[in-house]
Structure formats: C-alpha cells, structure tokens
Amino acid sequence: MTIFIIPLFILGIFLYALIKKVNTYQSFVKGAKDAIKLTIDILPFIATILIAIQLFAVSGLLDWLALATRPVFNWLGIPHELTPFIILKPFSGSGSVALFEQIVKEHGPDSYITRVASVIAGSSETVFYISAIYFSKTKIKNLSYAIPVALLCVFLAAILGAWVVAWMM
C-alpha cells in the first residue's frame, strides 16, 4: 500500500492545480528557470567551500588537528581512529564518506568503531557546506552563533553516539 503514496501525492498535486486552474507546464518551466538562476548564484559559494576543504585535507592540517585532539576524544570515549572522521564531517560530506569507507574496510562492518562511525555519520551534518549554501541566499550575514552551535551539536552527537553504541554492545 505504501508504494502508492508518492504517485498519489503527485496525482493530488496535479488535481489541485487543475481545480485551481494553474498551468502546470508553465509553473514547471518557471521553477526550472529559477533553479538555474539559484544554481548560478550559489556556485561561487560551493566552489569556495570545496576548495577550502581540499586545502584543509591536503595541507596536513586535518592530520595535525586529529593528532592534537586525539587525547580529548579518547577521554570522552570516542575511539581515536574516528578523530579525522569527526573533524572532517562538518566540512565535507564526500570526504567523510571516503573516510567512513576506509574505516569499514579496516575494522569490519560489525566492529565497535564502524558502528560508532555509522551513528556519527547519521547524526551529524556538513555544517560549513550547508551554511555556505543556505546563508548565501538569505539576508543573514552574522553567523557568529549558528556555526558554533551547529559544531557543538555535531561534537555532542559524536560523544553521545559513542556512548550509546558502547552501552548497546
């Protein structure tokens, strides 16, 4: 029965448009034009954040930061193997996926470390990428609270994820 939800939803949209006498084709074309404009507007922000992420990883700063924060993470109950993953996750979704794949290959899919990495991956977001995209199209320019709070939430999710997985094993 649930396989019909999306088709019925789409059909409902078309029926609603028909009742309201909305030209769905024109509306779709207008939406596509707006999407192209939006893509062009946010492209510089995406390019900037992607370049910054690559520089962060290639420069060795990620490895240095992971080594420097490892004792704190160990004290909090987070395996030291996950330190680079936790640091990279707020910056890059694809970079953290690559690290996640490496963790699974090294430790196996059922290991404690992989399970903690799975919880962290599912409970956190790419803070800087999302901020660059969303805030580039809004009038909000002061991110002095939004980014630190989001980073704190990602960090707390990592700690709680490690504790919950340890408790469940």
Q: What pLDDT digit, counting tens, does each position of 24-70 carry?
A: 888 889 988 998 988 888 788 778 877 877 787 788 888 898 889 88
- Whether the per-residue pLDDT at 141 is higher than 80: the answer is no
What tens digit of pLDDT does each residue of 62-72 get? 889 888 988 89
| pLDDT at residue 108 in the model | 93
pLDDT bracket for residue 111 (50, 70, 90) = very high
Helix intervals (H) in the chain: 5-19, 24-58, 61-75, 83-88, 93-107, 112-122, 127-136, 146-168
Q: Which residues contact 33 (CB under 8 A, 6 or more apart)?
A: none
Model pTM above 0.95: no
Please, are residues 120 and 89 in contact by the beta-carbon 8 Å criterion? yes
| pLDDT at residue 109 in the model | 92
Domain boundaries, the chain: 2-168
d(CA 39, CA 43): 6
What tens digit of pLDDT does each residue of 118-136 get? 999 988 888 877 877 777 7
